Amino acid sequence: MKSSEWHVETRQSSKTESPSSRDSENAHETGSLSIVILGASGDLAKKKTFPALFHLYEQGFLPRNEVCIFGYARTKITDDELKNRLHGYLVPGKDSSSEQLEEVSKFLHLLVLRFANRLFVPQWNRDNIANVQIVFREDFGTEGRGGYFDQYGIIRDIIQNHLLQVFCLVAMEKPVSLKAEHIRDEKVKVLESVLPIKDDEVVLGQYEGYRDDATVPDDSNTPTFATIILRVNNERWDGVPFILKAGKALNSRKADIRVQFKDVPGDIFKCKRQERNEFVIRLQPSEAMYMKLIVKKPGLDMEIVESELDLSYRQRYQGVTIPEAYERLILDTIRGDQQHFVRRDELKASWEIFTPLLHQIDEGEFKPIPYKPGTRGPAEADKLLLEKAGYVQTPSYKWIPPTL
């Protein structure tokens, strides 16, 4: 299928129709469907929304005979101009998941991992887990979007929504079923169990050069980096710090969940090493799950080294298309599946966690620490992990994604 066969118009639809004869278990949707994209001339629509719809159509998840997509934007733009803008982004057969660095919730994978494996069920609690990190790192800055970003900052833009959704899935109790309401019930419960954030368990940063953007105020107090410790007041997680970390202009691009287990009691090996077992879910790029283990290096000497059990998705599931987050969410919307969407009480609970801190920042009571682009962020953030969260670093270890 060529992209020119895909019908897109830049005009307002007078009527929005729902797909008829819909079967959520069947890839082939029937009936007619009209979709209106607000902000059709924007960067998000160009890079994410239109490509996601195109890939759904290409794979047969949208009605083949009658699907119309209407774009609405404040910018004056013709059909031909819009098609020219989208031309390089609507590529048949392209797997865009490796480029997706703005959504970090692989909801169903986390759910299956936690609740379908006997190995993890008895371990997933304060008796075994020392701390949990949920990390989102970008190696680029605001790139001309400084004026927009400055209205929100890294907490509103990334932590309050994306990382908090991942936090819910890591920390929530087992739902009664996979029905949307049952999953959302458990997410609300864990959010309502989060204690108020302490000032000394927050580190904010702003990369040097951020204010050089002409659209950013010279005295901007907006953080481009944040490390925040959340504490959950319930039986499962009492005493376990959850570290939410996000930043721009850092030294790498990645999003992962890092569960660090407690030390093994009674060390008989006397190896004077500080490594701990860690279970890591790499959300992007190079989607993978791996467990860091302490093993004996082959040979006659008793040398202890750190290695891993590795499930890298692209190696294990070759030829399988990994859908982008926007594809999943748009398809769920069409099907009426709400399990990946935020309910009103969940939204209220999530904002209650961060609103006091956000007010402090907006009023200038909390100042971000300058950091150089291309670094890990403020050094104070690493100090916070060591002193307040009890995180044990292993700088000598580096996970290397396997090659195909």
Greatest extent of the chain over all pairs of C-alpha atoms, in Å: 77
302: exposed, middle or buried (C-beta count within 10 Å: 0-12, 13-18, 19+)?
Answer: exposed
Please count the other Cβ atoms lying within 10 Å of the Cβ belonging to residue 21.
Answer: 9
Q: Which of 109, 162, 182, 340 is catalytic?
A: 162
162 given a catalytic annotation: yes
User: Looking at the chain, how many residues does it have?
Assistant: 404
Phi, psi of 24 (to 5 degrees): -70, -15
The 8 Å CB, 24+ separation contacts for 305-311 are 306/275, 306/394, 306/396, 306/397, 308/399, 310/402
Check residue 161 and report its DSSP letter. I
Interhelix angle 180-192/164-171, rounded to 10 degrees, is 100
Rounded Cα distance between 96 and 73, Å, is 25
The position carrying tokens 């009664």 is 176
Residues tagged active-site: 162
